[in-house]
Amino acid sequence: VSPQLLNALETKLKVILNGNITRIKRLPALVRGAEVDRYWPTADGRLVEYDMDQIVYEEDSAYQNIKILHSQQYGNVLILDNDLNLAESDLAYTQAIMGSGRENYAGKEVLILGGGDGGILFEMVKQKPKMITIVYIDQKVIDACKKYMRGTCGNILDNLKGDCYQILVEDCVPVLKKYVQEGKTFDYVINDLTAIPISTQPEEDSTWEFLRLILDLSIKVLHPSGKYFTQGNAETLTEALSLYEEQLGKLSCPVAFSKEVTCVPSYLEQYPFIGSKVFLYANVTELIYKNIFCISHLLFWFAYIHKQNNAKMFYILLSSDRQK
């Protein structure tokens, strides 16, 4: 039914009922049977409607279902296993997980876990780091983004190696373990692998164990003055986020948190950032970093290890802004 017809009907009802209508609210009809599914649930179970109008690409890899849909507002949108990951509009996501402009990557060694869409790599090479190493398991995602997500990655995925970057198409866990054995360290580790689990039963969700494993290995490959960033889940998942904080308490070092928020356009819900401080040694007497900042639609983390008087201080800044 056209909006014009509905407007005419609304006007006629007001006339027939002699102006006794105190409130009229029209809701759009559900679009059923379309080639492209426009309806996606938020993390807390609400239904939102996107303007997806075309399936640009779809394929099953050995690891996941890969879809790229077109949105009139957000450009092409990467969806992995029916989970909206990133749209071409979502530069805010990339900026957030890189530290929102507060970091200087020039001349630094950076390890990115995940990041197969190329967005972080494309933005980071502009700062002329010494070397960026990306470890991502799925070549098909890289190939799809190289062709259909150029608004995010530009031409950076055209080659797996460049003057200041290399992309390793491998499982990150054995790569991290190898780096630990070799004693290799990085100035920054950016974990763009997965979100905080939405399960409230951590003992039934192997993702919790995976997150702890990645965090532990990442800490081991961080330079003593290094920083760690990661992403998480929706701000509305308060119980799962609380359980996540409990999981962090099971790490080899104690963690304290503070929170903040930002907005990634295509996510359509807020994700808090949690600032946390992790003490790797017990004799730390001074807190250096107390800033709380805000991103959103993903739980992003920032970790900072600071050496002082033979002690190390490790701060994690957890941020959240996304339904990932």
The overall pTM is greater than 0.75: yes
pLDDT of 215 reads 81
pLDDT of 122 reads 98
Characterize the bridge pairing of strands 186-192 and 109-114: parallel
Q: Is the pLDDT of residue 54 over 70?
A: yes
Rounded distance between C-alpha atoms, residue 260 and residue 297, angstroms: 11
What average pLDDT does the chain have? Answer: 76
List pLDDT tens digits, range 283-295. Answer: 322 222 322 222 2
| The CATH classification of domain 91-321, taken from the options 3.30.420.10, 3.40.50.150, 1.20.1440.120, 3.40.1210.10 | 3.40.50.150
Q: How many C-beta neighbours within 10 Å does residue 289 have? A: 13
The tokens for 140 are: 């098909």
Q: Catalytic: which of 192, 205, 216, 321? A: 192
Cβ distance 145 to 118 under 8 Å? yes
In the block, tokens 């409607």 appear at 49
244 pLDDT band (50/70/90 cuts)? low
Closest CA to 228 of 282, 255, 261, 190: 190
pLDDT of 212 reads 78
Residue 141's contacts (CB-CB under 8 Å, 6 or more residues apart) are 61, 64, 66, 78, 80, 116, 117
Closest CA to 318 of 272, 280, 250: 272
Annotate 103-132 with three-state secondary structure. CCCCCCEEEEEECCCCHHHHHHHHHCCCEE
Provide the angle, in degrees to the nearest 10, between the axes of the packed helices 238-248 and 206-220: 50
119 phi and psi, to 5 degrees?
-65, -45
Q: Measuring CA to CA, how many Å separate 96 from each of 21, 37, 145, 206?
A: 48, 29, 20, 27
317 pLDDT band (50/70/90 cuts)? very low
Residue 90's contacts (CB-CB under 8 Å, 6 or more residues apart) are 74, 119, 152, 264, 265, 266, 267
Is residue 171 part of the annotated active site? The answer reads: no
Closest CA to 195 of 168, 142, 235: 235
The residue ranges of every structural domain in the chain are 91-321
* % of the chain at pLDDT higher than 90: 39
Cβ distance 267 to 322 under 8 Å? yes
pLDDT of 277 reads 34
Three-state DSSP state, 168: strand
Q: Measuring CA to CA, how many Å separate 79 from each of 21, 22, 117, 213, 267?
A: 44, 43, 11, 25, 12
pLDDT of 259 reads 56
Looking at residue 248, its amino acid is: L
List pLDDT tens digits, range 96-145. Answer: 888 888 899 999 999 999 999 999 999 999 999 999 999 999 999 999 99
**Which position has the higher pLDDT, 174 or 11?**
174
pLDDT of 182 reads 97
**Which position has the higher pLDDT, 278 or 195?**
195
Give the mean model confidence (pLDDT) for residues 156-172: 97
The tokens for 188 are: 């920054």
Closest CA to 173 of 92, 89, 113, 104: 113
Residue 310's contacts (CB-CB under 8 Å, 6 or more residues apart) are none
Give the mean model confidence (pLDDT) for residues 205-211: 72
Three-state DSSP state, 21: coil
Cβ distance 165 to 127 under 8 Å? no
* % of the chain at pLDDT higher than 70: 70
Which one of 23-32, 42-51, 249-258 scores highest in mean pLDDT? 42-51
Q: How many C-beta neighbours within 10 Å does residue 24 have? A: 9
Lowest mean pLDDT among 46-60, 81-95, 190-204: 190-204
Strand partners, 257: 276
The tokens for 77 are: 């949108």
